[in-house]
Amino acid sequence: MFYTMKLNVTVFVMKQFCFLLLVFGALQFSLKASAEKNQSHGTMEKQHTSNPYYSRTDTSKLNLPDAEWKRVLSPEVYATARQKKTELSFTGKFWDYTGKGTYYCAACGNALFRSDAKFASTCGWPSFFEVVRKGSVTYLPDRSFGMDRTEVLCGRCGAHLGHLFDDGPPPTGKRFCMNSVVLDFVADRRGSKKGE
Ligand SMILES: [Zn+2]
């Protein structure tokens, strides 16, 4: 009788223990998933906090040596912004993106394009027919790779953004062919037209 009771108590305790283990495991899993989610969500902000030159409000020009950009930018942004690397078509995060908002320079936060000026291009890179304001980008002739093209650079920090072509849609007929990696997108807030 005594042993049966002891056995019952032992089984009961073990059951409770298993239940607690299960709950604890589920809690651990959920905490881990939540941490991972926050981490991936915060990647962009993390990059900006390590870049003291990034500002969506300061429009003063930046003239920094490449070594400084290398220190504050992610390797991917640095490769395009400072070393003029072109991302592979149809691979960037914005080539077919249709969200409403504003695109900023990923290196310095300068406003570049509104989503209203983005059009569905078949080239595989995000394409716009006009910039958000005069002076938001600058231009340079580019005769590399045996081609005669116009390079588009950020008007604030001089980052390489992409190229400008004359085969865009009305009303401008221009096609700003950009690299997704050097663009940041900020969605419009509800009830706000300009996302400010
Ligand atoms: Zn910039």
Q: Which whole number is the average pLDDT over 108-112?
A: 98
> What per-residue confidence (pLDDT) applies to 98?
95
Tell which wins on pLDDT, 40 or 132.
Answer: 132
Confidence of residue 6 (pLDDT cuts 50, 70, 90): low
Q: Give the chain's end-to-end CA distance (angstroms, integer).
A: 77
Distance from the alpha carbon of residue 109 to the mean position of ligand 1, in angstroms: 6
Q: Dump pLDDT digits (tens) for 153-191.
A: 999 999 999 999 999 999 999 999 999 999 999 999 876
Distance from the alpha carbon of residue 142 to the mean position of ligand 1, in angstroms: 19
3-state secondary structure of 132: coil
- Please indicate whether residue 154 is annotated as part of the active site: no
Distance from the alpha carbon of residue 2 to the mean position of ligand 1, in angstroms: 80
d(CA 121, CA 44): 26
Q: How many other β-carbons are positioned within 10 Å of the β-carbon of residue 74? A: 17
Confidence of residue 45 (pLDDT cuts 50, 70, 90): low
Q: Dump pLDDT digits (tens) for 47-101.
A: 577 899 999 999 999 999 999 999 999 999 999 999 999 999 999 999 999 999 9
> What per-residue confidence (pLDDT) applies to 44?
52
CB 177 within 8 A of CB 86: no
pTM assigned to the model: 0.74
Tell which wins on pLDDT, 24 or 80.
Answer: 80
> What per-residue confidence (pLDDT) applies to 3?
52
> What per-residue confidence (pLDDT) applies to 33?
43
Distance from the alpha carbon of residue 52 to the mean position of ligand 1, in angstroms: 13
Q: Dump pLDDT digits (tens) for 136-155.
A: 999 999 999 999 999 999 99
CB 72 within 8 A of CB 53: yes
> What per-residue confidence (pLDDT) applies to 32?
46
Confidence of residue 13 (pLDDT cuts 50, 70, 90): very low
**DSSP state for residue 190 in the 8-state scheme:** T
> What per-residue confidence (pLDDT) applies to 49?
74
CB 94 within 8 A of CB 183: yes
